Amino acid sequence: MAEQKLIIEGGRRLEGEIAVQGAKNSVLPLLAAAVLCKGTAVLHNCPRLSDADAALRILNCLDCKCSREMSTVTVNAERMTSNEVSTQLMREMRSSIFFLGAILGRTGYCKWSMPGGCELGPRPIDLHLGALMKMGVDIKEEHGFMHCTTPKGIHGAKISLAFPSVGATENIILAAVTAKGETEIHNAAREPEIVDLSNFLNKCGARIKGAGSGAIVIEGVKELTGAEHSVIPDRIVTATYMCCAGITRGELVLSKTSYRDMSAVFPIFEQMGCSVYTYGEDCIYINARKSMKAPGKIITHVHPGFPTDAQPLFMAMTATLPGTTVFVENIFENRFRHASELNRLGARIGAEGRVAFVEGVGHLSGAEVEATDLRGGAALVTAGLAAEGVTRIGKIFHIDRGYENIEDVLRSVGASIKRN
Ligand code: EPZ
């Protein structure tokens, strides 16, 4: 089958309303958590994404019964027998590593393939493994696999993370909820997706306190039931569509979202000259009609700081703002790969290590480009919406990992975009 591309005719202002999808980075750990449930987990607001499908394939591989009805996914792990996941499945999605904690919590054994790197750099898992070993997990690395056993069962431990890793925090929680005794996580990641995971697990009978803060305490319980839960909205997808409004000087309402977790992003939109209002429980209004200017600097931090996942989108948006914007990427060591593709669209970006300089240009012009990773691909879509002429984006499988029906969503608010 010929490679799919997104074809965008730029220059059209976005106007209208977008209902934001459920959060990819919440639904993935929630699906892993379902492995621990001796009952049925019903998850609403699950976006249709290739990463979510990959997680469901892993659950099927573990003999969990999964079904999807529109945006509701049901998982029953009652009769889960296998604890082996095929290498191909494990390697398909690097972030599936938190299935390790869930499978160990449920069965006490897991053979997991050493994760490959990914487009953002080596992505080590030393913090995950160090913590699991403190909890009684023996890990033997052999022929590219980690053979994880728990000879004396998983027990609670006091864990201080050298870096507040999101995935490591989630893995520890998943291993700790049915462990013997109490687990403390210090310097835990504070991302909203961790709060969502904790809320779901507590509905299933877990005893987790402090999620969202840097100190999380989990008291192990004997077993977990199932529960019904709604996945939180995707704050990065929200920021993406806000950047699409900004770069086309349009105005959008984003509904079914949550602005509470976006406090580091709003001030940047306002510094650039956008009007941003929040109203009701879950709506954001952005108007970018006014003249805009470069925000000066954007520095990524762990939550609640400016999210690294929004960095590529803002880099696209600042490409046509008068002035210079300095980006400092503190989370990943190789997260500027989209810069060279944006330069093919006429942007003027210099990137060196963890720092990039964007010098605003009068306009972008359409070209053939390729997505380098999930958010880098979304950045090319954002830029293509404003570029004069036609932009054709290849390797859009990266984008489909995290954006549900991106072309239908953007077309619904006035973009000229199609998938061939
Ligand atoms: C999660 O990745 C997200 N993925 C990422 O979103 C997000 O960018 C990242 O958190 C940071 O917010 C999911 O939730 C599925 P980390 P994760 O562990 O857990 C280093 C997207 O676009 N590190 O917080 O892998 C690591 O190398 C994706 O949706 C270690 O050194 O992120 C990186 O530099 C991209 N050792 C930093 O920490 C470890 O054991 C942040 O990684 C683990 C991580």
Question: Which among 25, 169, 373 is the best mutation to test ligand 1's pocket, defined by most ligand atoms within 8 Å of the CB?
Answer: 25
pTM (predicted TM-score): 0.97
At residue 118 the predicted structure's pLDDT band, cuts being 50, 70 and 90, is: low
At residue 94 the predicted structure's pLDDT band, cuts being 50, 70 and 90, is: confident
Query: Which atom of ligand 1 is nearest the CA belonging to 373?
Result: 22
Residues marked as catalytic: 118
Given a cut of 60, is residue 117 above it in pLDDT? no
Share of the chain above pLDDT 90, in %: 88
Question: Which among 166, 330, 337, 372 is the best mutation to test ligand 1's pocket, defined by most ligand atoms within 8 Å of the CB?
Answer: 166
Amino acid code (one letter) for 213: S
H helix or E strand, kind and range, residue 349:
strand 348-352
pLDDT in tens, 347-404: 999 999 999 999 999 999 999 999 999 999 999 999 999 999 999 999 999 999 999 9
pLDDT at 13: 97
Given a cut of 80, is residue 289 above it in pLDDT? no
What gap in Å lies between CA 329 and CA 356, rounded to an integer? 8
What gap in Å lies between CA 201 and CA 33, rounded to an integer? 7
Ligand 1 lining (C-beta closer than 6 Å): 24-25, 28, 95, 123-128, 163, 165-168, 189, 308-309, 331-332, 374-375, 402
pLDDT at 123: 72
Give the mean pLDDT of the chain: 95
Q: Name beta bridge partners: 207.
A: 219
At residue 116 the predicted structure's pLDDT band, cuts being 50, 70 and 90, is: low
Please tell me the distance between residue 167's alpha carbon and the centre of ligand 1 in angstroms: 6
Mean pLDDT of 106-110: 94
Please tell me the distance between residue 311's alpha carbon and the centre of ligand 1 in angstroms: 14
Given a cut of 60, is residue 250 above it in pLDDT? yes
pLDDT in tens, 208-227: 999 999 999 999 999 999 99
Contact criterion met (CB below 8 Å) for 294 and 321: yes
Query: Which atom of ligand 1 is nearest the CA belonging to 94?
Result: 25
pLDDT in tens, 132-145: 999 999 999 888 88
Given a cut of 80, is residue 157 above it in pLDDT? yes
Give 33's contacts (C-beta < 8 A, 6+ positions apart). Answer: 41, 102, 174, 197, 200, 201, 204
For residue 95, give the nearest of 177, 187, 26, 186 by alpha carbon: 26
pLDDT at 84: 84
* Stronger pLDDT, 396 or 289, i.e. the higher one: 396
